[in-house]
Amino acid sequence: GETIRATLFPGDGIGPEIAESVKQVFNVAGVPIEWEEHYVGTEVDPRTESFLTWESLESVRRNKVGLKGPMATPIGKGHRSLNLTLRKELGLYANVRPCNSLPGYKTRYDDVNLVTIRENTEGEYSGLEHQVVRGVVESLKIITRQASLRVAEYAFHYAKANGRERVSAIHKANIMRKTDGLFLKCCREVAEKYPEIQYEEVIIDNCCMTLVKNPGLFDVLVMPNLYGDIISDLCAGLIGGFGPDTPVATSVKVAFCLAEAVHGSAPDIAGMNLANPTALMLSAVMMLRHLQFNDQADRIHNAILKTIAEGKFRTADLGGKASTSEFTNAVCDHI
C-alpha cells in the first residue's frame, strides 16, 4: 500500500503529549501515514491574519486530511480565532460528532447513541455586528440556501451510509421564520430524496429538554451553527463531557477532513503526562474512516473502548490513576 501524507497540528497545552499518543497508536496499528507537523506560530502571519502560518494551511490544503489538537487563541486584537480561521479557510462546512455512551464508563446516561451534524460556516458566526445607536447593538444571523442544502445533504448521506434511521432538523423557526425557515425548507427538499430515512423537525428548546430526559429518542441531528455549538456540547456532556477533564467525545470536519479533539488545551496539566488522549484518538479514528482505513480504525477504536471499559488504566479525569503513557501503552497492547 502507498503512504498517505496528513497534516498534524499538535496544538498547545496538552496537545503535543496527546498527539504523541496518537502517533504511537498509529505505529502499532500499522497505519501507513506520514505526518507533516505544524505548530501554531508565535506571531501573526499577515497572509493568514492569524497565528496559523500560511505553510500550515497549505499543508492541509495539499493533503486534504489532518488531525488537530487543542489550540487556545491568544487574546488580543488584529488576529482571527484559530479555530474559525481553519474552518473558514478550509471550507469545513459540516461538523460531525458521533456521541455514544462509553461501555463501562458510568454517567447519568447509558443510552446515548446519536450523531450531531452542525453547519459550520454561517448563521450567528457571520461576524457581522454593529452599533446602531449608543446602547443599541445588533448581530446578523445569515442563513443561505447553498450552505443549508449542503449540510442537509451531508446529514442524509451520512445517515444512509451509516445505517441510521432518522434525521431530526433542529430549529427555532417559530421565532426566526425566515432564517430557520429557510434552513428547514432546505432540509425538507433533501429529505424528499431519501424516502428511506425518516425526517422530523424539533424546536431547539424542546430538543434540549428531550435530550436530557431521553437522549435515546434521537438518531442524527442536523442544525444551524449556533444550535450545533450548543447541542453538540450538551450531548458530549451526557456521556461524560470532553473537557480536558473528561475528553470522551470526538469531532471531525469534512470536505477536507480535519479531525480534532474538541476539548481545551488544559495548560495547568500540560507536560505532566496526565492528559487523557481519548478524544484525540477517537478523532484520529474518524480520520482513518474518512481515508477508508476501516480495518485499522476498527482495531484502534475497539482497543480504546476496551481499555476504558476494563478501567485499570484510566486517567485521572475518568477516576483512574494512569498516566498518559500508561493509558496509551494499554491501548497499544489491545490493538
CA distance 188 to 184: 6
Q: Is residue 83 a contact residue for ligand IPM (CB under 6 A)?
A: yes
Restricted to residues 203-222, the positions that interact with ligand IPM (CB under 6 A) are 205
* CA proximity to 28, closest of 276, 310, 309, 307: 307
Q: Rounded to a whole number, what is the distance in angstroms from the first to the last CA of the chain? A: 20
> Which window, 54-62, 79-87, 184-192, 285-293, contacts ligand IPM (CB under 6 A)?
79-87
d(CA 322, CA 328): 9
Helix (H, G, I), strand (E, B) or coil at 66: strand
Please report, as residue ranges, which positions from 27 to 66 form the binding site for ligand IPM (by CB under 6 A).
none
- Could you tell me which stretch among 77-85, 100-108, 288-296, 324-332 binds ligand IPM (CB under 6 A)? 77-85
138-197 binders of ligand IPM (CB under 6 A): 174-175
CA atoms within 13 A on the CB side of 56: 22
C-alpha dist (Å) from residue 304 to 85, 99, 242:
31, 15, 15
Part in contact with ligand IPM (CB under 6 A); list of ranges 81-89, 107-115, 281-289, 324-332: 81-89
Q: What phi and psi values does residue 228 have, to the nearest 5 degrees?
A: -65, -40
CB-based contact 67:285 (threshold 8 Å)? no
Number of residues that bind ligand IPM (CB under 6 A): 8
Closer of 21 and 179 to a second copy (Cβ): 179
- Applying CB under 8 A, the residues found at the interface with a second copy are 81, 107-109, 124-125, 129-132, 134-146, 172, 174-179, 181-182, 204-206, 208-213, 226, 229-234, 236-238, 240-243
Q: How many CB atoms lie within 10 A of CB 118?
A: 27
Which one of a second copy, ligand IPM, none is in contact with 64 (Cβ closer than 5 to 8 A by kind)? none
Q: Nearer Cβ to a second copy, position 7 or 83?
A: 83
The answer to whether residue 273 forms part of the interface with ligand IPM (CB under 6 A) is: no
Q: Which is nearer to ligand IPM, 4 or 255 (CB)?
A: 255
- In 20-112, the DSSP E strands lie at 33-37, 65-68, 94-100
Query: Looking at 81, 198, 210, 323, which residue binds ligand IPM (CB under 6 A)?
Result: 81
Q: Which residues bind ligand IPM (CB under 6 A)?
A: 81, 83-84, 174-175, 205, 229, 262
